[in-house]
Structure 1
């Protein structure tokens, strides 16, 4: 007799909560639910990022062990971005009585489950949700979920306050760079913005400015690069200080739907920025692309984003597929969700800081351990 199928949840957690993850897994197993937990379930010789992507794609949903550490963890945030991109439900299990800050955007519409009390009931609710997401019927010998008691007015009010706080945090992302950003990263971002301003000055000198001159100033490719996932990429237009001469140029997930070449034509009579973005404005289809094409500041940020992404792509040799997927997910779920120019300016600046900071981290790790990737 064939054994009944069991749903599997991807457990997203901070490393400090690894023992909690194992405890939750053991409890869920009694309800017929399996768990995928890193780093334990990464196969020998398997790339960590590839294993994460495959596990999220194959699991019924993502169980987030939410605490103050996971709220600030860039690795947890990337896992939630991948979950959003794969259209996987996120089940937040709250381990501490705090309100999300960095993860508020991804958890604004999630149904919370508290681990603070009645843990058996919490496990039963998670298991029921896992079977529902997988389209499976819980096994007959699974521990039954206790009927949820009617919440008291104080509990209802607390839940409403939590949800309102999450929505408020999601709507009010901080405009400044996070406190954890290093001085070196801020200096690099400042230099990058200075290069973007120089490119704008060169471009405004007139139509006789050679494209190669602009490309050299911005470190941006003149020729179109391949879209993520095609397996083809053009050589970089110029090698930055942190790139290797033989490294392929990074594909640009932020580019428009059909081309990544900068637009240098006047186009329609509609308002156009003087700085060309990394895509053809004549083919701009989304509201965010149209805003970029109409704003000098957004167009400069778009080019700066391409620079930051490409330089990170060149050093993240074993993580390029994950990086391309994450960047595409950010574009669709964060940038394109902005209703106006102010929101786009804020999230694009924040993303550039994140990309530059991750590149710096990789280079520092490589310098301290040359044999490690």
Structure 2
């Protein structure tokens, strides 16, 4: 197997209130082969926070700033930009809100702004292309545009598959060709035919009244024949088969894979996770937090695994919406991380 293709990595500087937006940006950049580093998520267990920040900025291709009113006032964001300047790293400001920088104006004076407010796909393409160029990789604008077009075509095809099949409209019968004869000629011919039919019916009825009476046995045969015909008609009736409609399942088109195989997703919640980028990222983060806690749990591993199964069934799988799944998953990640720190500090599990 050949060597894996190198992917640029961006340090995402953001305010904690924009954590969900940061995950959306990460998912969009992943489609352009760009990775993201975010704190506190990517700080290794036991590693000093400031050391991890400095190391991540030194090793990144550039610093992607998610600019908003809160980040403009954040001391942590300002320190990260100072470290980026010291490491000669490019700063890519992504404008999330229509505000003017004040505290960060010095650091953003020469930066080229990228607007997230209107054309988000174009913004992600520009950031990805810049990251690849800064990392010395051949990632032209045409390649990025082709990736966007492929992603848009995939979503369009999936949305078309969700539409119910439509029957073609019945053909409209064409009017009969004119024979060139006047309308009154057809009226006269029709009247003659009606008179002839009525005359034939009167002659037939008069012959039946003057003929011999039918025999009783022959009448019985006729009645028996009629009753048998009715019975056969009842037996020949076929009740229409009732076909239950097939439930429509949302297409699995998340660009980020969760911690499990989506082709084997069985439950409703697992299928929802597989079809949503944010839920897929949260599931991966949950799996990593669980593995890290399990590695330090020692003799309490069995209890931890049972507790995780109970949480999955009683809380996560009981959700009926994407917001509910995201909320309980974030709470679980925070709980697992807190338990891991407690064990590392010598406290009980």
**TM-score bracket, shorter-length normalisation:** 0.3 to 0.5
Give the TM-score of the pair, scaled to structure 2.
0.41
Larger Rg: 2
Structure with the higher fraction of residues in helix conformation: 2
TM-score scaled by structure 1? Answer: 0.38
